[in-house]
Amino acid sequence: MKKIEAEEQQTTVKAFAQSVWRQNFLNSGMAAVCGILLVRVALYVVAARHYGYFRDELYYLACGEHPAWGYMDQPPLIAWIAWLLEHTIGVSLYALRLLPMLAELGTIVMTALLTRKLGGGRWAMFLASLAVLVAPIYLTFSQIFTMNAFDPLLWMLIAWLLVDLVQTSNEKNWIGIGVLTGITLLNKYGVLFLVAGFLVGVVFSKLRRSLAKLWFWAGLAIATLIALPNFLWQLHWNFPFVQLVGQVRQNGRDVMLPPLAYLGQQSEMMGFASSLLVVLAVWFLISAQGRRYAILLWGFVGVLGCMLVLKGKFYYVAPVYPLVFAPGAVLFERVTQGLGLKWFRPLYAVIMLAVGALIAPTAIPVLSIPSYIAYTRRLGIQQQKFENQPEGKLPQLYADMVGWEERVKIVADYVNSLPAEERKVTAIGASNYGDAGAVDLFGPKYGLPKAISTANNYWIWGPRQYTGQSLILMDEGDPQKYVGHCKSLYLVARPNNPYARPDENRPIYHCVGLTPDLQWLWSRSKPWK
């Protein structure tokens, strides 16, 4: 009898577990989302090691060797993460690009959860998550170790807490919002545009009652305290980030477009098909059924509107789109249900997948370099251009992944051929942070010292112990300016990698007897005022 009762109890527990499984996983829409996550993991496995380290990755690794509360050209979080990787799983391409990939997985999950929180069902959750997966810009973000990889997830977490605040009136959410905002400011300053939009949304909604509550101001204080050390660092160095942005504007490096062309770039960045969800999101958030969540629209308009006016790089807007994919997918699901167009849901998903797959090789290196070149020529498609930089056989994004170790080895072969006493006093100078970072990463295995450079934060780290008695000049575009300052100037090599950026194939020189010496010149070569 006891055996029968035990079996019945076991059967009951099993049935209950199956019921919970169906309700909370299969029927919730998360099963389809998990399928999307697996696709993204597969892409990481295939593409993570292709081509090589990206220029900015090399620089962030160098910054990680100098932990600080700030850097000339970015907040400190990316360098702290680089330091953590260096001291844990290492900085191989797979290790370096693991966290960006995991951040996109988090963004996909949060997009699905926000969709469900806004009233979306399985199809809405699937389509909103799919829009994140197939967007070329997110494939690019999540395959390179940069600050851009982490913003979409951080922004989505803030948005989720705001929507929860609207639904539950739980004022304590402001604490979490404050913490996340402070952390996001340590990642990238662009979140200020999102916060500005959200604050306008607070003022023009029922959330303005929060302005009279302690929790709101406590959250604001926490965000300020977290970001304050970085602000003080910038203040100490006379705000080099602001000066850098001004210099970039003056020299015309960034591609700047009029509003309509800029919006066209936004659509291309999302993979075209997903633009429908953005339009539907605006409709939903101004309609009676979604107006209570209009704060999301204010955040979106704050980011997109400011970037249109300021003519920022097109991808500066990218982190905000998952916030609108969610409400857009909710309305899409409801409209197709109400009009009897359920058949259009799988068709739309297929269109999104097809367009995404077509563009994917331009966003993530799933093809070999020769195959990529042949593919883009055959289809007549190419990466979106975001800077006015010289290009060769590869577009800038991929060209910036090619040739770094090759150039370091050229320098190492030459330096190691010098007499021992001369090698001891030979500094490796680089005119850009890419070459300097490459020397720092690859140089030790070839017996090279750390690089010196006046580019970006390298200037702060100084010329080390070197005086210029023997100085290698990498990527030197105008050697004539050294003729009168070097006792002798030798041509070391002329790199000629057809896939690297043309300006990275400039000659490498050896300057002997630099006058005035480096220690004197350094203070006069500061890259900002």
pLDDT for 252-308, tens place per residue? 777 788 999 999 999 999 999 999 999 999 999 999 999 999 999 999 999 999 999
Three-class DSSP labels, 427-454: EEEECCHHHHHHHHHHHHHHCCCCCECC
Tens of pLDDT along 385-396? 877 777 888 999
- Residues facing 427 on adjacent strands: 471
pLDDT at residue 16 is higher than 50 = no
The CA-CA-CA angle for residues 331, 333, 338, to 5°, reads: 90
Question: How much is the pLDDT for 246?
Answer: 85
Neighbour order of strands in the sheet with 508-514 = 426-430, 470-474, 508-514, 486-493
Contacts by residues 266-270 (CB-CB < 8 Å, ≥ 24 positions apart): 266/304, 266/314, 266/317, 268/136, 268/384, 269/135, 269/136, 269/137, 269/314, 269/315, 269/317, 269/318, 269/384, 270/131, 270/135, 270/136, 270/137, 270/321
Q: Residue 489 above 50 pLDDT?
A: yes
Instruction: Find the mean pLDDT for residues 414-438.
Output: 94
Distances (CA, A) of 424 to 447, 468, 471: 11, 12, 11
Contact indicator for 138, 100 with CB cutoff of 8 Å: no
Task: Dump pLDDT digits (tens) for 62-121.
Answer: 999 999 999 999 999 999 999 999 999 999 999 999 999 999 999 999 999 999 999 999
The pLDDT of residue 12 is: 54
- 486 three-state secondary structure: strand
Per-residue pLDDT, 484: 81
pLDDT of 8 higher than 50: yes
pLDDT at 491 over 60: yes
- Residue 410: is its pLDDT beyond 60? yes
* 3-class secondary structure, 511: strand
pLDDT at 187: 97
Give 135-156 pLDDT, tens digit per residue: 999 999 999 999 999 999 999 9
Residue-wise pLDDT tens digits, 319-363: 999 999 999 999 999 999 999 999 999 999 999 999 999 999 999
| Amino acid residing at 286 | I
Residues 437, 62: contact at Cβ < 8 Å?
yes
Rg (CA), the chain: 26
What is the share, in percent, of the chain residues with pLDDT greater than 70?
Answer: 95
State the amino acid at position 89 in one-letter form: I
Is the model's pTM score more than 0.85? yes
Terminal CA-CA length for the chain: 88
Summarize pLDDT for 450-461 with one digit per residue, the tens: 999 998 999 999
Tell me how far apart the 2 most distant CA atoms of the chain are, in Å.
102
Q: Which amino acid is at 289?
A: Q
What pLDDT does residue 223 have?
98
User: Distance between CA atoms of 108 and 29, rounded to whole angstroms?
Assistant: 13
pLDDT, mean over the chain: 91
Whats the size of the chain, residue-wise?
Answer: 529
Dihedral (C-alpha) 155, 157, 162, 163: value to the nearest 10 degrees? 110
Residues 142 and 42: beta-carbon distance below 8 Å: no
What pLDDT was estimated at residue 20? 43
Closest CA to 277 of 237, 219, 225, 336: 336
Q: How confident is the model at residue 482 (pLDDT cuts 50, 70, 90)?
A: confident
Q: Indicate the range of 50-59, 378-387, 488-497 predicted with least confidence.
A: 378-387
Beta strands in 431-504 (DSSP E): 470-474, 486-493
The predicted pLDDT at position 21 comes to: 46
Residue 26 banded pLDDT, cuts 50, 70, 90: low
Return the percentage of the chain with pLDDT > 90, whole number. 79
Q: Are 379 and 28 in contact (CB under 8 A)?
A: no
Please classify residue 326 by burial: count the beta carbons closer than 10 Å to its beta carbon, then call 0-12 exposed, 13-18 middle and 19+ buried: buried
- 178-225 pLDDT, tens digit per residue, is 999 999 999 999 999 999 999 999 999 999 999 999 999 999 999 999
Residue 28: predicted pLDDT? 64
Contacts of 187 (CB under 8 A, 6+ apart): 75, 77, 78, 147, 150, 151, 154
What pLDDT score was predicted for residue 186? Answer: 98
